[in-house]
Structure 1
Amino acid sequence: MTTGPYPSTRFRRTKRTDALRRMVRESTLSVDDLIWPIFLRDGEDDETPVPSMPGVARLTVDRAVATAKEAASLGIPAMCLFPYIDTSFKTELCEEAWNPENLSNRATRAIKDAVPEIAIMTDVALDPYNINGHDGIVRDGIIINDESVDALVKMAVAQAAAGADILGPSDMMDGRIGAMRTALEAAGHQDTAI
């Protein structure tokens, strides 16, 4: 959590919904503390096993919606979405990452439409969209920090616009949290948590 002065520190962000309040209250361990990870893939009415994670599958958006309904019925307050992107969408500049119609953003909207009370966390990272597999834009074998931060900021704003409640940056770029917060505020997403 940002500990700077207002407006970068807005504790109201974590109090605006029941799901968020339950996640940040005093230390306890209950179903309220759980976040259901969802691995997404394109397609319809299908799931594909993840070879490196026995018992885990990549779900199509419709199956993710059904899983969100199950999570809500069990009292699980949140889901975190991790997209598996077809290689045809991967580029050196990761443009698909901030496409409003990318897999993660479509899934966010579909889940929020069907189960509005569940909190959606999204992974803010370029590696699913990068032809090189890195979390940053690579040029001449070097990860370019500031260009990568610019891409991550566009991705964060697109995810917030799709309805994400919490953004979960998993990259390692310097300065990305402050840049995301500034861009989210400017875009009217002051209630979106990082």
Structure 2
Amino acid sequence: MLDLKEPKTLPLDAPFRLTQRPRRLRATAALRESVAETHLRPTDFIAPFFVLPGRGPSEAIPALPGVYRHSVEGFLREAERALRLGVRSWLLFGVMPEEAKDPLGQSSADPEGPVPQAVRAARRAFGEEAVIYTDVCLCAHTSHGHCGVLKETPRGLRIDNDRSLRQLAAMALVHAEAGADFVAPSDMMDGRVGYIRRVLDEAGFIEVGVLSYAVKYASAFYGPFREAAKSAPSFGDRASYQMDVRNAREALREAALDEAEGADMLMVKPALAYLDILARLRPSTPLPLVAYNVSGEYAMLKAAAQAGVLDEARAVRETLWAIKRAGADLIVSYHALEALEQGWL
């Protein structure tokens, strides 16, 4: 039993008047909820999906427990689940077999590829109930795994930025033709937002938006995604086109350039290790900000929960609230559907 008697040595007669008591606003759960500054709704989430070509069962992704690669049919089932939970925004990634890849990533612009097929199927099934975003990048389509087309230079193989833009725009156009609401270039080539915007406009897709991965760092937290999308580079790394993790002012420059080129939304990726970037970017732009709670961030929490060192529900809730609090309007998260189903939010 607790001994709640005051110690005899306490100077109870000392003059003291406390007028500011912040704890008054934390006294009960109902009160805390009524004055909470940050809230998450199902419509704040973008659910990511990996789509396979052909038919067949869903494939578990060992590095991402609870996440799967789906055929188009499997994706539609997951899309129905998302709609039931109120998550009406989806981001699609295509997963290609090795035999479909080449140095130029030409399968990225195949209208019968897994993403265009999934978009058309979703439009038939759900109409305009959902907002469909499609990732635009060559890494899952190139035999070398890089996000652009390679060229020989005196210093060896390098990414040909301007030549890559043509293939990226062709990919975006195919997605727009299939019915995507937004194309989301994640390649980090200079000028790709403006190039894609011009190609879409000239083809008559003036209502298809561009969600730019404007601020994408060369992060260690992408490892599980590269397994999921089978998109790891076969040599070198992506530091020559993704941002240096030490830089913050550069993020403001990248975002401003993409906004000027016609981006409708801007993304910061990863989210959790770059909350300072989100907070710095928020007052600098009127555009909606998207944060990508990436695969490594998801996998860390899953591993910690499995090891019994974290309460998963509380850790996920705290993580997602932090991203929202830092300034994100929308959050791409692998936790979204599970967190909503389990009542974690």
* Normalised TM-score (structure 2): 0.47
Retained in 1: the 8 A contact 2:151–2:159? yes
Q: Which residue of 2 aligns with 1:112?
A: 123
- 1:44 is displaced (CA, Å) by 2.1
Does the Cα contact within 8 Å between 1:68 and 1:115 map onto a contact in 2?
no
Secondary structure of 1:127 counterpart: coil
* Matching residue within 196, 199, 216 for 1:180: 196
CA RMSD after TM alignment: 1.3
**Aligned-pair distance for 1:151?**
0.6
Q: Is the 8 A contact 2:136 2:172 kept in 1?
A: yes
Rounded Cα–Cα distance in structure 2 between residues aligned with 1:64 and 1:101:
16
Q: Tell me what 1:167 maps to.
A: 183
Question: Any idea what SS the aligned residue of 2:209 has?
Answer: coil
Q: Residue 107 of structure 1 aligns to a residue in which SS?
A: helix
> Conserved in 1, the CA contact under 8 Å of 2:53 and 2:113?
no
In 1, the alpha carbon distance for the partners of 2:64 and 2:84 equals 25
Q: Which aligned segments of 4 or more residues in structure 1 are displaced greater than 6 angstroms?
A: none
Distance 1:132 1:187 in 2: 30
Equivalents in 1 of 2:56, 2:131: separation in Å? 23
Instruction: Map 1:29-108; keep pairs closer than 5 Å.
Output: 29-108=40-119
Shift of 1:61: 0.5
- Relative contact order (alpha carbons < 8 A, sep ≥ 6): 1 or 2 greater? 1
| 1:65-110 Cα distance to aligned partner (Å, 9 max, x none) | 1111121122111111111101111011111111111111111111
Which runs of 5 or more structure 1 residues have no equivalent in the other structure? 1-26
**Is the aligned partner of 1:126 residue 2:142?**
no
Give the secondary structure class of the aligned counterpart of 1:181: helix
Greater radius of gyration (CA): 2
Aligned partner of residue 173 in structure 1, secondary structure: coil
Write the letter of the residue equivalent to 1:115.
F
Distance of 1:62 and 1:77 partners within structure 2: 18
In the TM superposition, what is the alpha-carbon distance from 1:41 to its structure 2 partner?
1.3
Structure 1 residue 42: deviation in Å?
2.3
Residue-pair matches, total: 168
Equivalent AA in structure 2 for residue 44 of structure 1: R
**Would you say 1:144 and 2:137 are equivalent positions?**
no
- Kindly provide the amino acid, as one letter, of the partner of residue 161 in structure 2: N
